[in-house]
């Protein structure tokens, strides 16, 4: 026999939520205070307390910015908790569908793939709402009584089972803040219920991580959670890690500088055992060379120069390996900047490289190695002024270091400057550096440092080069781009970025492709050493032979003639007669190429 429905059940079936609200407001308004208390006494304790909180909210002490917490019954919180788990399960179920919303493809002809980022983001949104409920859920044993680690493991299994065999999860599930926090908070509260110690909790988390196939926890949340535990619990975990740091599995993670466990342990070493911090840090130098810097700094403060030199020599190999520099580098063989700087001028990176060199110089000074001190002084100046030609010529020209070393350092500077300035050409295998061994930038630098050659020799070399340049791009080869660079520099020297032939400058010279950090210094010396008519000679070459460089419409890609039209516009600007002659040939040879003439028409060239 079924239980008869209560009046409340009938009201819920018959009325809308808004109608029930109106009814409750009307009924409550008609009850005298003593009858209100009588009604409240019939409610469960938690419900009565919640209603009383609503009817008589606590005073916020007059602070308008501090709002009292909204009263919510435990039953309501559990209902919300259950609804959120339904949302979670819906996300996982959709992810497990072979044709679900998380299967995507960039283009229709490309194979589909599983969008793990969208999947994790959707779970993160659910976890964001769950986060404030976790403590209540554990303490009051809300249903479902499911932990986040268990739920994530189930999600991995469901998705792997539902995924077609040819779909792989390449990057894994990198959890975000709320997901990671909910997992930690749940497991921590469960452990506190069992009265397990904090180190057992750490071991449990390590086991959970190891048990996941695709899930990776958020490192920042990981560190925040552990470092915000009660101080006594942090000390217990630290003591446990210290006791077991050389045993598996802890040794693997505590020795890995990229693991949050290592970062956490080093944080606690510095907090609770600072005398051991630098010793522990020193062991990590092969993995992260920057860790050598505080060790060296401490040894310098103690004037332990011999040990400082040992640590410097421990630090240099991993640094050179990390920066893809020459592993045989020493301060006497090349400038460090030229050895490690692969077109990156990041200020923070330069700062730490400079710091290492400065520590090296302090160490050499402490050991009385004057010659090495002078060499490292040159190295430090180069870090700060590598692209300042005048400073580098002055620094490298001084007799404070042996001639052989000075020559080696100069050559490393020159070769890097030339390499950095040298244009690159797009070939069949991607960007490739030009293969010409010496060119006009070599001659300019040589004329500056060799007083016997000077201006006259440079001008002679330039005239010889320009006179012998071939008349077409195929024969010209790499000299084409070197001529472009020279044209750019001469234009900017004489016209401050404003060309007499703007279309030619943008289409042929293409100055944006040719910028380098030292160009202001380079151009200052070029202005000083170049002949007065060098620009006239260069432009004379372009005017005479530019028509030979205009791309042939026969080689157009997918009937796109935009580039061809722009080159013709540059030719018309620079050499109108040659333009008319080439245009006449095109009208005969390419009269059927409608897209060509459309592109020409758009630039008003036909």
Q: CA-to-CA distance for 219 and 174, rounded, in angstroms?
A: 10
Average pLDDT over residues 385-398: 94
Residue 15 confidence (pLDDT) above 70:
no
CA distances to 226, 237, 267 from 230, in Å = 9, 11, 15
Tell me how far CA of residue 372 lies from CA of 50, 152, 333, 336, 393, in angstroms: 78, 58, 12, 14, 20
Confidence of residue 434 (pLDDT cuts 50, 70, 90): very low
Q: pLDDT digits over 475-504, tens only?
A: 888 899 999 999 999 999 987 667 789 999
Strand bridging mode 215-216 / 173-174: parallel
Q: What percent of the chain is modeled with pLDDT above 70?
A: 86
Quick: pLDDT tens for 497-534.
677 899 999 999 999 999 899 999 999 999 999 999 99
- φ and ψ at residue 210, rounded to 5 degrees: -65, -25
Model confidence at 76, pLDDT cuts 50, 70, 90, reads confident
Confidence bin at 114 (pLDDT 50/70/90): confident
pLDDT value at residue 564: 94
Tokens of 361: 């110089």
What integer best gives the mean pLDDT of the chain?
87
Output the pLDDT for position 68.
43
Q: State the distance between the two ends of the chain, measured CA to CA, in whole angstroms.
A: 96
pLDDT class of 319 with cuts at 50, 70, 90: very high
Is 50 exceeded by the pLDDT of residue 263?
Answer: yes
Instruction: Categorize the per-residue pLDDT at 121 as very low, low, confident or very high, splitting at 50, 70 and 90.
Output: very high
Alpha carbons 323 and 444: distance in angstroms, whole number: 30
Model confidence at 576, pLDDT cuts 50, 70, 90, reads very high
Distance CA 346, CA 358 (A): 18
* 162-175: pLDDT as tens digits: 777 767 777 789 99
**Kind and range of the H or E element at 430?**
strand 430-433
Burial of 219 per CB tally in 10 Å (0-12, 13-18, 19+): middle
Interatomic CA distance for residues 494 and 191, integer angstroms? 76
pLDDT at 431 over 50: no
Q: Evaluate if residue 30 carries a pLDDT over 80.
A: no
> Which of 128-142, 155-169, 435-449 shows the lowest per-residue confidence on average (mean pLDDT)?
155-169
Question: Would you place residue 424 in the very low, low, confident or very high pLDDT band (cuts 50, 70, 90)?
Answer: confident
- The mean per-residue pLDDT over the stretch 150-170 comes to 83
Q: What is the spatial distance between Cα 263 and Cα 255, in angstroms, rounded to a whole number?
A: 10
Across the range 299-310, mean pLDDT stands at: 97
When computed from its CA atoms, the radius of gyration of the chain, rounded to whole angstroms, is 37
Q: Tally helices (H) and strands (E) across the chain.
A: 32, 6
- Whether the CB-CB separation of 389 and 484 falls below 8 Å is answered with no
Q: Confirm if 112 and 103 have CB atoms less than 8 A apart.
A: yes
Residue-level pLDDT at 429 = 32
């Amino acid at each position: 026999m079924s239980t008869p429905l209560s009046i409340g059940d009938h009201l819920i079936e018959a009325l809308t939520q808004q109608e029930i609200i109106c009814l409750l407001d009307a009924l409550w308004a008609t009850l005298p205070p003593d009858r209100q208390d009588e009604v409240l006494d019939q409610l469960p304790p938690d419900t009565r307390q919640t209603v009383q909180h609503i009817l008589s909210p606590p005073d916020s002490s007059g602070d308008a910015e501090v709002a009292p917490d909204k009263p919510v019954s435990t039953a309501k919180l559990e209902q919300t908790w259950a609804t959120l788990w339904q949302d979670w399960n819906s996300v996982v179920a959709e992810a497990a569908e072979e044709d679900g919303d998380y299967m995507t493809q960039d283009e229709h002809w490309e194979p589909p793939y599983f969008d793990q980022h969208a999947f994790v983001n959707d779970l993160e949104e659910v976890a964001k709402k769950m986060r404030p409920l976790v403590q209540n859920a554990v303490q009051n044993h809300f249903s479902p009584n499911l932990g986040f680690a268990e739920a994530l493991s189930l999600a991995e299994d469901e998705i792997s089972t539902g995924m077609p065999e040819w779909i792989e999860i390449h990057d894994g599930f990198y959890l975000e803040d709320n997901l990671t926090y909910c997992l930690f908070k749940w497991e921590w509260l469960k452990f506190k219920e069992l009265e397990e110690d904090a180190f057992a909790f750490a071991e449990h988390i390590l086991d959970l991580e190891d048990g996941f196939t695709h899930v990776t926890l958020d490192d920042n949340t990981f560190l925040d959670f552990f470092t915000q535990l009660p101080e006594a619990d942090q000390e217990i975990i630290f003591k446990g890690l210290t006791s077991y740091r050389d045993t598996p599995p802890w040794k693997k993670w505590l020795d890995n500088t990229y693991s949050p466990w290592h970062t956490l342990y080093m944080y606690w070493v510095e907090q609770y055992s600072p005398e051991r911090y630098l010793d522990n840090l020193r062991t990590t130098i092969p993995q992260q060379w920057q860790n050598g810097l505080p060790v060296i700094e401490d040894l310098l403060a103690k004037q332990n120069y011999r040990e400082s030199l040992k640590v410097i020599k421990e630090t240099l190999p991993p640094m050179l390996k990390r920066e893809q520099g020459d592993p045989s580098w020493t301060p006497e063989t090349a400038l460090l900047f030229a050895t490690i700087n692969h077109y990156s001028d990041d200020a923070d990176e330069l700062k730490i490289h400079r710091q290492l060199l400065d520590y090296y110089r302090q160490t050499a000074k402490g050991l009385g190695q004057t010659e090495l001190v002078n060499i490292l002084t040159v190295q430090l100046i180069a870090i700060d002024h590598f692209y300042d030609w005048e400073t580098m010529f002055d620094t490298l020209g001084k007799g404070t270091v042996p001639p052989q070393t000075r020559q080696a350092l100069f050559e490393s500077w020159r070769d890097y400057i030339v390499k950095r300035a040298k244009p690159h050409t797009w070939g069949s295998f991607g960007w490739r550096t030009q293969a010409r061994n010496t060119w006009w930038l070599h001659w300019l630098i040589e004329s500056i440092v060799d007083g016997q050659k000077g201006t006259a020799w440079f001008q002679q070399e330039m005239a010889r080069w320009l006179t012998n340049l071939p008349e077409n791009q195929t024969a010209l080869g790499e000299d084409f781009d070197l001529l472009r660079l020279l044209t750019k520099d001469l234009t900017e020297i004489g016209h401050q970025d404003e060309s007499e032939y703007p279309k030619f400058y943008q289409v042929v010279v293409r100055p944006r492709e040719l910028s380098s950090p030292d160009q202001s210094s380079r151009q200052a010396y070029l202005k000083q050493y170049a002949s007065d008519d060098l620009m006239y000679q260069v432009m004379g070459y372009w005017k005479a032979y530019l028509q030979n460089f205009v791309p042939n419409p026969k080689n157009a890609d997918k009937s796109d003639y935009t580039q061809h039209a722009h080159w013709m516009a540059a030719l018309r600007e620079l050499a109108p007669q040659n333009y008319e002659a080439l245009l006449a040939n095109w009208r005969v040879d390419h009269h059927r190429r409608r897209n060509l003439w459309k592109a020409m028409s758009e630039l008003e060239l036909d």
